């Protein structure tokens, strides 16, 4: 059996490095143009080159999104950009539009092409069509069940890879083709500018009574009728593999490095546990519990088993659940005196109980008993963002480990 690929979002270079350190086999990222996350930091070409070097040195891959649905003017400069991506040695580009696909094939004919979920691939004939054009991987539409994905895999060439989203925010519209943002804010979701209008709070207005708002109430604060739960398939690794999914895609280029590390770590551990003994694999709730230490909405399995219903929506709130906070990032650890250098991310105090975790399954809990600034002068609190502080840590931590605390 071929080992599944764990594919992580990379909103910037820090998140790219975090994703790879915590177990991603590949990352996907957007440049400053042609992608669907206009409000992420995104990468300029020099940062893409640096990310590719970092990934390739660790035998990991980098895919770049070119998945907008472009208008005529959006195509300007694409050929030059593709040549820069080829020079940067990216491993593949992710495309949704046939016109963009044609430009890729004529400009950089040796570039590997993955078909974006924006292309709405829902059947094996469509997948085979794109394979015949030169696509090596299809990111299937999110509206498919596991049985439908297996039907695509069983009826397409063996070397056509299937990628599917397994975790993250769900779109209320069909595979991202939402016009709410366009209509209400003039921000085009299909050109990377979605305002997430589906997360807003709505009321009813009767046609002949303008200005009279009728609240739709599920609770004291009203309801959010388009607001979906987040997708989470960490307890369904075996079903995904048996359906033919090769690449397990995590959504979240706008999310924090802490989110990326936490989610990627859990899926890495779950996939590796499955691979040890596929026939006897049983889901381990530890991995879901760890994911819940990042920010999340309640979870759903989306379309994989049944069509979503009212149980897959969040009617009471659009807020994330946050049970833990990202307190700091370990930069160095002196094993002799057991002192870690930590870059602060949220305020913490002497006396706080915190957890340290890295890519491994274990995490370590301890109370902060001693705290110093970078000059080893005693402190009671670390109040300033990204301040370097020193903490005595009993457990041997490493560069890149994360310190978190219950919210």
Residues 25-68 pLDDT 10s: 999 999 877 765 555 567 999 999 999 999 999 999 999 999 88
Q: Read off the pLDDT of each residue in 342-354 and give the average, rounded to a whole number.
A: 97
**Which domain range does residue 361 map to?**
324-406
Lowest mean pLDDT among 73-87, 200-214, 225-239, 345-359: 200-214
pTM for the complete prediction?
0.88
Residues 239 and 121 in one domain: yes
Going by C-alpha positions, the residue among 23, 42, 5 that lies closest to residue 400 is 23
User: Greater confidence, 263 or 312?
Assistant: 263
In angstroms, the CA 277 to CA 259 distance is: 28
**Phi, psi at 43, each rounded to 5°:** -120, 135
- Within-domain flag for 312: no
- Within-domain flag for 337: yes
Torsion region of 398: left, alpha or beta (phi above 0 gives left; psi -120 to 50 gives alpha)? beta
- Within-domain flag for 316: no
Residues 265 and 380 in one domain: no
The predicted-structure confidence for 365-386, as pLDDT tens digits, reads as follows: 999 999 999 999 999 999 999 9
How confident is residue 187, by pLDDT bands cut at 50, 70 and 90?
confident
Q: Give how many domains the chain has, as a whole number.
A: 3
- Within-domain flag for 221: no
pLDDT at residue 34 in the model:
72
CATH code of the domain in which 382 resides: 2.40.30.10
- What are the distances in angstroms from CA 405 to CA 195, 244, 325, 332? 31, 38, 5, 20
Does residue 183 carry a pLDDT above 70? Answer: no
Going by C-alpha positions, the residue among 302, 400, 282 that lies closest to residue 342 is 400
Going by C-alpha positions, the residue among 288, 302, 258, 264 that lies closest to residue 169 is 302
Query: Which of the listed residues 244, 271, 303 is the one where a domain comes to its end?
Result: 303
Q: Read off the pLDDT of each residue in 97-107 and give the average, rounded to a whole number.
A: 97
Residues 276 and 354 in one domain: no
Cα 24 to chain centroid distance, Å, stands at 11
Q: Read off the pLDDT of each residue in 337-352 and give the average, rounded to a whole number.
A: 96
The predicted-structure confidence for 228-258, as pLDDT tens digits, reads as follows: 788 999 999 999 999 999 999 999 888 899 9
Cα distance between the two ends of the chain: 41
* Residue that the structure tokens 């990991």 belong to: 60
Residues 267 and 161 in one domain: yes
Quick check: 169 and 251 in contact, CB under 8 A?
yes
Kindly tell me the burial class for residue 366, based on how many C-beta atoms sit within 10 Å of its own C-beta (0-12, 13-18, 19 or more). Answer: middle
In angstroms, the CA 49 to CA 107 distance is: 19
- Within-domain flag for 311: no
The predicted-structure confidence for 291-322, as pLDDT tens digits, reads as follows: 999 988 888 998 999 887 767 676 666 677 89
- Within-domain flag for 223: no
In angstroms, the CA 86 to CA 92 distance is: 9
pLDDT at residue 189 in the model:
64
Q: What is the dihedral of CA 196, 202, 207, 208, to 10 degrees?
A: -140
Residues 250 and 357 in one domain: no
pLDDT at residue 136 in the model:
98
Lowest mean pLDDT among 266-280, 312-326, 390-404: 312-326
Report the relative pairing of strands 161-168 and 247-250 from DSSP bridges: parallel
């Amino acid at each position: 059996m071929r080992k599944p690929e764990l594919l992580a979002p990379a909103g910037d270079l820090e998140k790219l490095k975090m994703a790879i350190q915590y177990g991603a086999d590949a990352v996907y990222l957007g440049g400053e143009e042609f992608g669907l996350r206009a409000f992420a930091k995104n990468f300029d070409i020099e940062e893409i080159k640096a990310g590719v070097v970092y990934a390739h040195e660790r035998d990991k891959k980098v895919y770049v999104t070119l998945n907008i649905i472009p208008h005529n003017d959006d195509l300007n400069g694409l050929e030059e950009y593709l040549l820069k991506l080829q020079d940067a040695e990216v491993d593949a580009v992710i495309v949704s539009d046939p016109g963009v696909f044609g430009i890729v094939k004529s400009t950089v004919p040796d570039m590997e092409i993955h078909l974006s979920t924006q292309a709405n691939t829902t059947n094996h004939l469509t997948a085979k069509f794109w394979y015949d054009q030169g696509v090596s991987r299809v990111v299937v539409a999110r509206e498919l069940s596991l049985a439908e994905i297996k039907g695509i895999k069983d009826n397409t060439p063996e070397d056509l890879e299937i990628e599917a989203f397994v975790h993250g925010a769900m779109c209320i519209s069909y595979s991202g083709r939402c016009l709410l943002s366009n209509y209400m804010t003039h921000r085009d979701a299909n050109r990377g500018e979605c305002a997430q209008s589906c997360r807003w709070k709505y009321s009813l207005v009767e046609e002949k009574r303008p200005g009279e708002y009728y609240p739709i109430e599920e609770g004291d604060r009203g309801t959010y009728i388009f607001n979906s739960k987040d997708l989470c398939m960490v307890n369904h690794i075996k079903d995904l593999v048996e359906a033919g999914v090769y690449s397990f895609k995590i959504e979240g280029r706008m999310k924090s490095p802490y989110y990326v590390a936490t989610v990627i770590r859990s899926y890495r551990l779950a996939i590796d546990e499955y691979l040890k003994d596929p026939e006897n694999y049983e889901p381990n709730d530890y991995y879901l519990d760890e994911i819940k230490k990042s920010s999340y909405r309640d979870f759903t399995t989306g379309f994989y088993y049944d069509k979503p219903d009212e149980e897959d929506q969040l009617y009471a709130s659009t807020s994330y659940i946050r049970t833990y906070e990202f307190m700091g990032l370990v930069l160095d650890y002196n094993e002799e005196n057991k002192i870690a250098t930590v870059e602060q991310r949220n305020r913490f105090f002497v006396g706080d109980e915190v957890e340290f975790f890295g890519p491994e399954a274990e995490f370590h809990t301890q109370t902060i008993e001693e705290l110093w600034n970078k000059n080893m002068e005693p402190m009671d609190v670390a109040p300033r963002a990204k301040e370097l502080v020193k903490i005595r840590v009993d457990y041997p931590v490493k560069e890149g480990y994360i310190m978190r605390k219950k919210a």
